[in-house]
Amino acid sequence: MMRILSLDIGGTNIRGAVVNGAKVSGYLKTPTPKKQKETIAKIYEIVASYGKFDVLCVSTAGFERNGKIVNSLNNDMDGTPLSKLLRQKFKKKVFLGNDANCATLAELHYGVGRGKRNFVLLTLGSGIGGGAVLDGKLYLGNGGALEVGSMRIQDEEIYEHLASGKASVRIAHEMGMKGITSLELEHRADKGDKKAKEVYDKIGRYLGIGMANLAYLFDPEVIIIGGGFSRVKYIYPAMEKTLKELYYLEPKPKIVKAKFGDDAGLIGAALLMKIK
């Protein structure tokens, strides 16, 4: 049996695992270094720790263009010829893809997107990532499609600056909750704090605006929501209400939670072999 090693290189952590279908084993997680050189050295260390493997599959922020990573907004990997470096270092086949696209593949093959011909996925975290399946296949455009976090909404503001986990903290600070963290804001909402819930209402409204635009573009059966920030239940009422208000066509796409959490990038990366 082929031994597939997957890496998921995020802005906060690097994860590793051996992947077999939707199952992961040998799970490893370590903080992502701040500097590119240190990150590459850490990646080498993680891969070497697994010993023998047949193929290396990598999920990362940004995407490769002309052999180098671009638009990697949450870590210092822009300009890195990562696939080439890994091939040279380990003498194995390397498949590399955008983290949100990898999550989309995981949901398409093993999750709530299974059996769906058309859907959009949003990964909500410190920023917003996106992926789309059209006619049963992952849509890549020229390689950088569905960089939805950079869309412009609401007076030309950047989508993820208004509708992400990081945005919730900024809005809370603007509303007088100085120094509050994302987790503290969620705890306040759990206790019924009206200001905290108002923050999430705003975030949900902005999310719904972006979703309506995506629905008009792609006419999806469902919009799948994943990523760590998707756990915050208080964003959903305003998000769903706004999508219904702004999207006039029928049937309206349903908003559904992704099946996979932190393992989505690892599982989806192993599926890159199917499309490359």
In angstroms, the CA 54 to CA 262 distance is: 23
Query: Residue 10's pLDDT is what?
Result: 84
* pLDDT, mean over the chain: 94
Q: How confident is the model over 87-116, as a mean pLDDT? A: 96
Q: What average pLDDT does this structure show over 24-44?
A: 94
Q: Which residue has the tokens 């398409």?
A: 108
Q: What is the DSSP letter of 239?
A: H
Mean pLDDT throughout 27-35?
A: 92
Residue 75 corresponds to which tokens in the numbers above?
Answer: 């870590």
End-to-end CA distance of the chain: 20
C-alpha–C-alpha distance, residues 52 and 65, integer Å: 29
Q: pLDDT above 90 covers what percent of the chain?
A: 83
Mean pLDDT of 228-237: 96
Give the residue-averaged pLDDT of 219-238. 96
The 8-class DSSP code of residue 253 comes to P
Question: Which carries the bigger pLDDT value, residue 154 or residue 200?
Answer: 200
Query: Tell me: the pLDDT tens digits for 47-96?
Result: 999 999 999 999 998 888 888 998 876 677 888 999 999 999 999 999 99
241-276 residue pLDDT tens: 999 999 999 999 999 999 998 899 999 999 999 886
Give the DSSP H/E element, type plus range, for residue 189: helix 182-190
- Tokens 């180098």 -> residue: 68
In whole angstroms, what is the distance from residue 86 CA to residue 268 CA? 19
What domains lie within the chain, and their CATH numbers? 4-102+263-274 (3.30.420.40), 116-257 (3.30.420.40)
Mean pLDDT of 9-20: 91
User: Which tokens is 113 given?
Assistant: 């997107």
Which residues is 13 bridged to in the sheet?
31
Given a cut of 80, whether residue 13 has pLDDT beyond it is: yes
Q: Please, how many CA atoms are within 13 Å of residue 15, restricted to the half-sphere of its CB?
A: 23
**What's the pLDDT score for residue 62?**
85
- In this prediction, residue 110 carries a pLDDT of 97
**63 in Cβ contact with 71 (< 8 Å):** yes
Q: Does pTM top 0.85 for this prediction?
A: yes
pLDDT of residue 276: 67
pLDDT score at 1 = 79
CB-side neighbour CA atoms (13 Å) of 17: 21
- List strands edge to edge, sheet with 119-124: 137-138, 128-134, 119-124, 222-226, 254-257
pLDDT, position 173 = 96
pLDDT mean over 12-26: 94
For residue 265, the one-letter residue type is: G
